[in-house]
Amino acid sequence: MVVQQEQQRAQSPGGLQQTVRLYTSPSDMAKEGTEIAEETEQMIDQKEPDNPVSAVVDSKEMRAVLLTGFGGLNKLKVTKKPMPEPQRGEVKIRVKACGLNFLDLMVRQGNIDNPPKTPLVPGFECAGIVESVGENTEGFEIGDRVMAFVNYSAWAEVVCTPLDFVHKIPDDMTFPEAAAFSMNFVAAYMMLFEVANLREGMSVLVHSAGGAVGQAVAQLCSTVPNVTVFGTASPFKHEAIQHSVTHLFDRNLDYVPEVKKISPDGVDIVLDCLCGENTGKGLTLLKPMGTYILYGSSNMVTGETKSFFSFAKSWWQVEKVNPIKLYEENKVIAGFSLLNLLFKQGGCNQVKAAVQKLLSLYEQKKIKPVVDSLWALEEVKEAMQRIHDRGNIGKLILDVEKSPTPLMANDSTETSEAGEEEEEQEEDNDNKERMPFIQ
């Protein structure tokens, strides 16, 4: 069981002092969200309700996080949206917890290929209880506890998604754990076991080892005998995660000579979510018959808004790969995108199979999602800031039933009326967002 601690203050490396509940144990997408967006969206006054759920009395409406346009944190707000109803083959889920992924920061910035149109409700995964089902949804009943992938629109009180993307969860899996499970563990599992064929005695290099995917990779590696995991992470995380990684390096140092000191031949698998110069380094470190997988481009995020300079720099630094060299050196280079596999390439059966294997490992207590912290929907900006600040160990969860932590008097996240007034206040709000908020 994840152990919930008292609310406590966490000082993030970027200096934002936060009050969070910490859990320490182990372009066509988005149509649905955009279509139901209404100009008449009403901001929810966050100060009034102690329990935000009680604020929703009209069952024709629900609360959701809305991304009003690409950019900084001030582009996010909580709104009321029309209640979605399940279509044929869809399951309607009363959401309890949503996963916040690094990719959500990139979506917010518009820092992805073929970004969808805004406004949209972000979020790709959630967990909750089946509230109703559309026609042709055999296998699911009202009351089932489930986790689901959603093609955007997950950060809401209610979500409708095709049953192919919905998975029942074990009775003892909490909703935050379930929301921390799908994306990270499925991506980690498919990369390690289906793309790279991880086997006994192999070695793996993973970046952001303390992050949500990083911790899933480390746990899955521990299910195979004698696997050596090399990880990079910010130094302040090392104490907390050293048990999960065989050799841990400061992310600021050049890890290539460090890895070579320990393993002169290099490693069997490189998992690169940073991109840029790490591609060349990863290929250098690869043993013959080794596999390099690119699955993210975190390096493109260098601030709150998209930086064209970082984008260009990252792509400029990517090693030009010569296929003839790959053949001569016996190296495999691969890419992996779970969301594209699911939503664009019809891979839901492959994903289902992976989920079943992962749930079996969970039931055998071999893996367990690491939840970093829980946040109310209204706290999504602070939650994202925690990732920008590199403060998280494991996964951040939006807890739909959590009340927002009371804010300082001049706090920024008090929402304004929509419209021009809000635009005028945005600059002020930016400054206020960086004020510490304490209980």
Binding site for ligand NAP (CB under 6 A): 101-103, 183-184, 187, 208, 210-214, 233-234, 237, 251, 273, 295-296, 298-299, 301, 336-338, 387-388, 390, 392
Q: How far is the CB of 42 from ligand NAP (least distance, A)?
A: 31
Tell me: cis bond preceding 119? Omega within 30 of 0 counts.
yes
Which residue, 140 or 292, is less far from ligand NAP as judged by CB? 292
Q: Is residue 298 a contact partner of residue 208, using CB atoms and an 8 Å limit?
A: yes
Which residue, 334 or 408, is less far from ligand NAP as judged by CB? 334
Q: Is residue 300 a contact partner of residue 111, using CB atoms and an 8 Å limit?
A: yes
Q: How far is the CB of 273 from ligand NAP (least distance, A)?
A: 4
SS3 at position 388:
helix
Tokens, residue 69: 């346009």
Q: Is residue 100 a contact partner of residue 384, using CB atoms and an 8 Å limit?
A: yes
- Name the closest residue to ligand NAP (Cβ): 211
Q: Which of 89, 164, 165 is nearest to 127 (CA)?
A: 165
Instruction: Find the Cα–Cα–Cα–Cα dihedral 114, 65, 217, 253, rounded to 10°.
Output: 80
Q: How far is the CB of 341 from ligand NAP (least distance, A)?
A: 8
Q: How far is the CB of 7 from ligand NAP (least distance, A)?
A: 21
Which residue, 75 or 207, is less far from ligand NAP as judged by CB? 207
C-beta pairs of 327-331 under 8 Å, 24+ apart in sequence = 329/288, 330/288, 330/289, 331/283, 331/286, 331/288, 331/289, 331/290, 331/291, 331/292
Which residue, 159 or 275, is less far from ligand NAP as judged by CB? 275
Which residue, 140 or 185, is less far from ligand NAP as judged by CB? 185
Q: How far is the CB of 437 from ligand NAP (least distance, A)?
A: 20
Which residue, 119 or 231, is less far from ligand NAP as judged by CB? 231
Q: How far is the CB of 101 from ligand NAP (least distance, A)?
A: 4
Which residue, 131 or 236, is less far from ligand NAP as judged by CB? 236
Provide the phi-psi class of 253: left if phi over 0, else alpha when psi is between -120 and 50, else beta.
Answer: beta
Q: Which of 232, 126, 194 is nearest to 336 (CA)?
A: 194
Q: How far is the CB of 99 from ligand NAP (least distance, A)?
A: 8
